[in-house]
Amino acid sequence: MQFHSTRNQETYVSSSQAIAQGLSSEGGLFVPVSFPKPDWKSWQGLDYPHLAQQVLEQFLTDYNRDFLLEAARQSYGDSFQGKAGYLNKVREGTWALELWHGPTCAFKDYALQLMPRLLVQAKKNLGAGEKTLILVATSGDTGKAALDGYHDIEGVEIAVFYPNHGTSEIQRLQMVTQEGSNVSVYAVNGNFDDAQTGVKKVCGDRVIQQELAGRNIRLSSANSINWGRLIPQIVYYFAAYFQLADQGAIELGQEVNFCVPTGNYGDILAGYYAKQMGLPVGKLICASNKNNVLTEFLESGRYNARREFYRTSSPSMDILVSSNLERLLYHVTGSDKKVGGYMSQLSREGEYTVTGEELAAIQADFACGCANDHQVAQEILRQYQENGYLCDTHTAVAFRVAREYQEATGDKAPMVVLSTASPFKFPGDVLAALGQEAPQDDFAAMEALERYTGRKAPASLASLREKPVRFTAVIDPVEIADVALGTK
Ligand SMILES: *Cc1c(COP(=O)(O)O)cnc(C)c1O
């Protein structure tokens, strides 16, 4: 399988190159030139690593099959406690796909446990002996998941940038206590988009690229703009579907809807790829918080990033510029010129509007909705009271939007809500939603939530309190370049 850039159809790269490079040199994102059409029904009954192997080898055709299986085993074995792609029935017709049983308690572990292995192998496939410098902008969860995946990986340095005061306290501590000799972590003045724009700028800067190349260092990205981030996420759509079939909830071939709490459009786009590969996905429902730029886009075709930015109780979805939407635009328009035009209009004017035809094509696959913090809190309480289901703030956005979608459309297809974080990652907001007094301190809140619900917080979160803080630097977005250039 070859890949090309959303902004330049003429250059073709292998999957190894797409993963090693991250972003195309003119700023576009790599996409596969076609969608594989595997005999996916024959995958029923496979365990998670074997299922991952099947999906991965559709796209990563220059990787060895045995390597892919072994990498999947190492990524999704013990560290997921046997709960990779775990589907939990919440009530009749609704399931939660719990994606937070990995080492950092967020769904990003799926991509970021596997991607370092794919990257190291990509460099071997390419015969490249260079060092890889990975720059990550994070609104919270990516940072820790990337640090956990990449720490002490040979030939890799990783620097993580998070918005100062823009993450939860637990998310911050997860990052600044990270061990490893090849990691560094910075708070950036500004919001997530400022950090992400800063990282994108550095990654697209020819002068910086050349300066680093002279020292045999190549810049790359662990953000969901890297193809290596997206592809592992396709797997759990298949895993969820097969579990529904195994439970007798569906016949193979019957359509299932997925509701996805969305920020950078990576997780939901993986569902789109699964659908293109033949999985019977009905609607992919894009759930946003109060930063509802995507809701407006999916309803009207107008993407308008010039709006107020809100800090919400679901910080990993606090976003105004949703990077992976560019990939969808490419698949819908089939034109690098059009995508390039929309993207430059977005950076010049802060907005663009797709044609009516393009919007109709998008709406054929995607529905949408949004929920504010008050509605999210109500939904957490409702899920707990009605179904005994304890969910975090991000997942609650999706539960609420899924319910509204069902009520508004009467669509009776089975609904899988992607549950993207452990409720113990946001214990204060969850406790308050349950009508309990929430201590200011996150760890006190975690204990209070344990007491109130009788469930145990994941050990990796509870133990954070004892870990020494290693990183305290606060920088401006422009200084991200200095961090990159300071790499030895
Ligand atoms: C990153 C994240 C999201 C959003 O996923 P995207 O792929 O960026 O759309 C949702 N929930 C949680 C908990 C996350 O960490």
Report whether residue 108 contacts ligand 1, using a CB cutoff of 6 Å: yes
Cα end-to-end distance, the chain, whole Å:
34
- CA 163 to chain CA mean position, Å: 17
Q: How far away, in angstroms, is 451 Cα from ligand 1 center?
A: 28
The answer to whether residue 471 scores a pLDDT higher than 80 is yes
* Residue 108 is a catalytic residue: yes
Q: What is the pLDDT of residues 303-356, one digit of tens each?
A: 999 999 998 999 889 889 999 999 999 999 999 999 999 999 999 999 999 999
Report which protein residue has its CA nearest ligand 1's atom 1.
316
Q: Choose which residue among 99, 104, 105, 108 to substitute to test ligand 1 binding: the one with the highest number of ligand atoms within 8 A of its C-beta.
A: 108
* Domain 84-105+228-455 classification at class level: alpha beta
Residue ID of nearest Cα to ligand 1 atom 14: 316
Strand order in the sheet with 415-419: 86-91, 94-98, 415-419, 256-261, 281-288, 366-370
Residue 423: CB partners within 8 Å, gap ≥ 6? 390, 391, 392, 395, 430, 449
Residue with tokens 């113990």: 424
Ligand 1 atom nearest 267 alpha carbon: 7
Residue 383 Cβ < 6 Å to ligand 1: no
Least confident segment among 9-23, 88-102, 357-371: 9-23
Ranges of each domain in the chain: 84-105+228-455
Work out which ligand 1 atom sits closest to the CA atom of 266.
Answer: 7
pLDDT at 27: 85
Determine whether the shortest distance from the Cβ of 110 to ligand 1 is under 6 A: no
- Does ligand 1 lie within 6 Å of residue 58's CB atom? no
Lowest mean pLDDT among 56-60, 97-101, 219-223, 414-418: 219-223
Q: Which among 37, 89, 108, 456 is annotated as catalytic?
A: 108
- Local confidence band at 186 (pLDDT 50, 70, 90 cut-offs): very high
Distance (Å) from CA 239 to ligand 1 centroid: 19
pLDDT band at 398 (very low <50, low <70, confident <90, very high): very high
pLDDT tens figures, 15-72: 999 998 888 888 899 999 999 999 999 999 999 999 999 999 999 999 999 999 999 9
Ligand 1 centroid to residue 42 C-alpha, Å: 30
The pick from 267, 314, 393 for probing ligand 1's pocket by mutation, whose C-beta has the most ligand atoms within 8 angstroms, reads 267
CA of 350 to the centre of ligand 1 (A): 23
Q: Ligand 1: distance of its center to the CA of 310 in Å?
A: 16
- Whole-number percent of the chain with pLDDT over 90: 86
C-alpha of residue 155 to centroid of ligand 1, in Å: 28
The pTM for the full model equals 0.94
Cβ of 263 below 6 Å from ligand 1: yes
CB distance 458 to ligand 1 below 6 Å: no
Burial grade of 421 (CB within 10 A; 0-12, 13-18, 19 or more) = buried
Mean pLDDT in residue range 171-189: 96
d(C-alpha 177, C-alpha 468), whole Å:
6
pLDDT for the residue 280:
98
**pLDDT recorded at residue 474:** 97
Assess contact for 192 and 139: CB atoms under 8 A: yes
Residue 421 near ligand 1, beta carbon < 6 Å: yes
What pLDDT is stored for residue 225 in this prediction? 82
At 272 the pLDDT is 98
**Rounded-to-integer distance, Cα 246 and Cα 224, Å:** 31
- Mean pLDDT lowest among 211-220, 367-376, 378-387: 211-220
453 CA distance to ligand 1 middle (Å)? 25
pLDDT, mean of residues 250-279: 97
**Ligand 1 atom having least distance to the Cα of 263:** 9
Mean pLDDT of 242-270: 97
Of 80, 79, 70, the C-alpha closest to 50 is 70
Q: Is the pLDDT of residue 140 over 80?
A: no
In the reported structure, the alpha carbon of residue 298 is separated from the centroid of ligand 1 by a whole-number distance in angstroms of 18
Residue from 147, 229, 262 whose mutation best tests the ligand 1 pocket (most atoms within 8 A of CB): 262
Report pLDDT digits (tens) over 76-86.
998 898 999 99
